[in-house]
A and B are shown apart, each in its own frame.
Chain A
Amino acid sequence: MSFGKNVIEHATDLLRVLPRLTIANIGPIAKTKKKKLSRRGDARGSTRGLGKKPRTAYFAVGSETKKMPFFIKFPKENYYKDYMFKREYPPVSLVMLQTLIDLDRVDISKPIDLAAICKTGLYSFEPSERHFGVNLTDEGADIFKAKINLEVQWASESAIAAIERNGGVITTAYYDVRSLHILRNPQKFFEKGESIPRRLNPPDDAVLFYTSANTRGYLADPEQISWERLVLAQKYGYKLPKLEDDPDYEMLMQRKDPRQIFYGLEPGWVVNLKDKIILKSIDPTVNEYFKS
C-alpha cells in the first residue's frame, strides 16, 4: 500500500534540502556529558557524595572549642582605660640639655625650639605614638649653667627655676599633631610645596596649663609671668637677674605668636628651599584667614 511517499523517498527529499553536517549540527554522545547538580535531589544525600567522616562536628572558624575565649578570660582593669587618648611628653632632662649645649649641637645665640632639639638626632619623638613634645625634667638642676631662650611643651617648677636662675627664659607651648610633624622634619614639609598652616588651639584638658603663668604658658598674661618669676625666685632662694640689662635682650624676648609654627615665618607663606625664596600671597581672602 503506498499512501504518498516511501520512507526512503522522504529521506532523500530531506537530504536535498537540509544543510550540511558540521560540528555545530551534531550533538554530544550520551554519557560523556554530566548533568549539572543544581536541583535539590541531585546532591546524592546529606554528605553530597563525599562519604561519612569520623568527626562530623566542625566548629566555626576562629572559635576556641568550648574553652573560655581569650578576650573574655581576663577581667577589665580600669587603670588602662582611655590610654589611647592621653598625651605623652617624652622627657629631656637638664643634664641632657647641658650636654647638647656643651657639644655645640644646639645654638644658644638663637631661641631653642622643638625643631632644634629634634635636629640633634639624639631625641626620639614620634607624633604618631601620641607624643606631643618635650617634657623638661629636674635632673641636673644644680649643674645647669646656660642662658637660653627655651620653648618646651611641659615643664616642672624646679626646671623652670633652674633656667631662670641663669638669666634665661622659658615658655610652654602647645602644638597640634600636624604642626608637630612639620617641626620634626621641616625639610620634608617644604619639599611638598605647601603653604605654612596655622597652629590650632589646645584641647580642653590642657587649656589651664597653657593659660596660667605658673607654668609659663604661651597664652598667659606677661605681667603675671613677671610676677610669678619673682615668686619662684623667692621660693627657691636665688636673685632674679634683670633681663632688660642683658645684651641678649632682643633674642630672649623673641616669642612665637600662638598661631605661628616657625620663628620668623608666618602662616600662609610658601617657602622654597631650592631657590631660597619666600612667596606671599596677594589674595585678600587668603590673607584674611591666615592673619586672623
Chain B
Amino acid sequence: MKIELLNDPSAEDFSKQLLTIESCMFLWLTLCKKRMMEIKKVETQKRRNILNFMQSNKIDLIKRPIYTKIKLYSHQKTLRWHRKQFGLYGNASGINPAICFTTKEEIDDIKEYEKVAYDKSFIQLRNEALQRLEEEKKQYRIREEEIERKLENMEKWKEQIRQKMNVKQIEVVEAKQKRERLLEEVRRFFGYTIDPKDEKFQIMLELKEKEQKKLEKAEKKKMKEERFLAKLASLEHDTSKNTNDDKEADKEK
C-alpha cells in the first residue's frame, strides 16, 4: 500500500511523500527490532543451555513433551513409552492415540492367560462350587453311617473283652493257688519248717509235681472218651431220624 502511494500521481506534495517514506522507515525499524529480540532470545537460551538439557532426553527437570525430532534412546523406542507420553501430555505430545488401544497380539496373550483359571462363566463357577460342597457333605455322611453301624455292636464287643480279661485273671489266680497247695503238701510231709530253697524240699516238690501231672493227664483222657461217646450217640440219633423221614416220605407216595 505504501509503495503505491509513492507512485501515485495525485500525491503532489513532497511532504506527503515524506510521510509515506517515514511510515515505511517506521515499519522497517519495528521489524528489525522484532528480529533483534528473537535473536537475543535464542542466544540467551543457548547461554543458559549449559548441560544441553533443553534438547536432551535424559534430564527432564521441567516436564514437557519431547518432540519427535530429537534422537531417541533404545528405551524410548518402545510402545510403552509412546503410550506414556500420550497419557502424560495428551495431544501436545504429537503422538497418534491409536497406539493406546490393545493390539491383537496383546488380546491373544490375555486370552491365553485367562484360559488357565479365569475362563469359566459365573454360572459355571457357582455350580462347580456347589458340587464341591455336596461331595464334602457326602463323605461326611458316609463316615457317620459307618460309625453308627459300629456303635450298635459296641456293647457286645465290650463284654467279649471283659471276659477275655477275666479268663486271663482267673488262669493266673488258679496257677498261684496250685503252686501254694503243692508247697503246703510238701511242708506237711516234712512236719517241720524248712527253707523252700533247700535241696530236700525241692526234690519232694518235683515228685509231687509229677504225680499231679499224671492225675491231670488221666482226667483229660476221661474227658476225651466222654466226648467221643457223646458224639457217637448223637450220630446214631441223627441216622435214626433220617431213616424215619424216608419212611414217612415213602408212605406218602
Inter-subunit contact A201/B102 (CB<8 Å): no
Minimum CB–CB distance for A281 against chain B, Å: 5
Q: A262 at the A/B interface (Cβ < 8 Å)?
A: no
Inter-subunit contact A204/B129 (CB<8 Å): yes
Chain A residue numbers with a CB within 8 Å of B97 are 270, 272, 279
Inter-subunit contact B126/A192 (CB<8 Å): no
Chain A residue numbers with a CB within 8 Å of B117 are 201, 203
Chain B residue numbers with a CB within 8 Å of A286 are 101-102, 104, 107
Minimum CB–CB distance for A116 against chain B, Å: 23
Minimum CB–CB distance for A195 against chain B, Å: 5
Q: A186 at the A/B interface (Cβ < 8 Å)?
A: no
Inter-subunit contact A195/B101 (CB<8 Å): yes
Please name the residue on chain B nearest to A290 by beta carbon: B102
- Chain B interface bracket (under 10, 10 to 19, 20 to 34, 35 or more): 20 to 34
Q: A243 at the A/B interface (Cβ < 8 Å)?
A: no
Interface of A is mostly: loop
In the bound assembly, the distance between CA atoms of A211 and B128 in angstroms comes to 12
Inter-subunit contact A272/B90 (CB<8 Å): yes
Q: B91 at the A/B interface (Cβ < 8 Å)?
A: yes
Inter-subunit contact B120/A201 (CB<8 Å): yes
Chain A residue numbers with a CB within 8 Å of B82 are 193
Minimum CB–CB distance for B140 against chain A, Å: 17
Q: A207 at the A/B interface (Cβ < 8 Å)?
A: yes
Chain B residue numbers with a CB within 8 Å of A190 are 87
Inter-subunit contact A211/B88 (CB<8 Å): no
In the bound assembly, the distance between CA atoms of A281 and B45 in angstroms comes to 42
Please name the residue on chain B nearest to A203 by beta carbon: B117
Inter-subunit contact A194/B120 (CB<8 Å): no
Contact among A194, A258, A272, A285 with B107 in the assembled complex (CB-CB below 8 Å): A285
Interface of B is mostly: helix
Please name the residue on chain B nearest to A190 by beta carbon: B87
Tally inter-chain residue pairs, CB-CB below 8 A.
84
Query: A251-292: contact bitstring with B at CB < 8 Å (1 yes, 0 no)?
Result: 000000010000000001010111101010101011001000
Inter-subunit contact A195/B87 (CB<8 Å): no
Q: A219 at the A/B interface (Cβ < 8 Å)?
A: yes
Inter-subunit contact B90/A258 (CB<8 Å): no
Query: A121-134: contact bitstring with B at CB < 8 Å (1 yes, 0 no)?
Result: 00000000000000
Inter-subunit contact A192/B84 (CB<8 Å): yes
Inter-subunit contact A272/B126 (CB<8 Å): no
Inter-subunit contact B84/A191 (CB<8 Å): yes
Q: A230 at the A/B interface (Cβ < 8 Å)?
A: no
Inter-subunit contact A208/B100 (CB<8 Å): no
Chain A residue numbers with a CB within 8 Å of B100 are 193-195, 270, 279
Q: B125 at the A/B interface (Cβ < 8 Å)?
A: yes
Inter-subunit contact B118/A192 (CB<8 Å): no
Q: A200 at the A/B interface (Cβ < 8 Å)?
A: yes
Contact among B88, B104, B126, B128 with A191 in the assembled complex (CB-CB below 8 Å): B88
Contact among B101, B107, B110, B122 with A201 in the assembled complex (CB-CB below 8 Å): B122
Chain B residue numbers with a CB within 8 Å of A203 are 117
Chain B residue numbers with a CB within 8 Å of A211 are 122, 125-126, 129
Inter-subunit contact A275/B91 (CB<8 Å): yes
Inter-subunit contact A207/B129 (CB<8 Å): yes
In the bound assembly, the distance between CA atoms of A203 and B128 in angstroms comes to 12
Q: Which residues of B contact A (CB under 8 A)?
A: 80, 82-92, 97, 100-102, 104, 107, 110-111, 114, 117-118, 120, 122, 125-126, 128-130, 132-133
List 17 other contacts, CB 8 Å, given A193-B83, A274-B90, A289-B107: A191-B88, A192-B80, A193-B86, A193-B88, A193-B100, A194-B83, A200-B114, A200-B118, A201-B118, A207-B125, A207-B129, A208-B129, A211-B122, A258-B122, A272-B90, A272-B97, A286-B101
17 A-B pairs with CB atoms under 8 Å apart are A191-B84, A193-B87, A194-B87, A195-B101, A201-B120, A208-B126, A219-B122, A219-B126, A258-B122, A268-B102, A272-B90, A274-B87, A274-B88, A285-B107, A286-B101, A286-B107, A289-B111
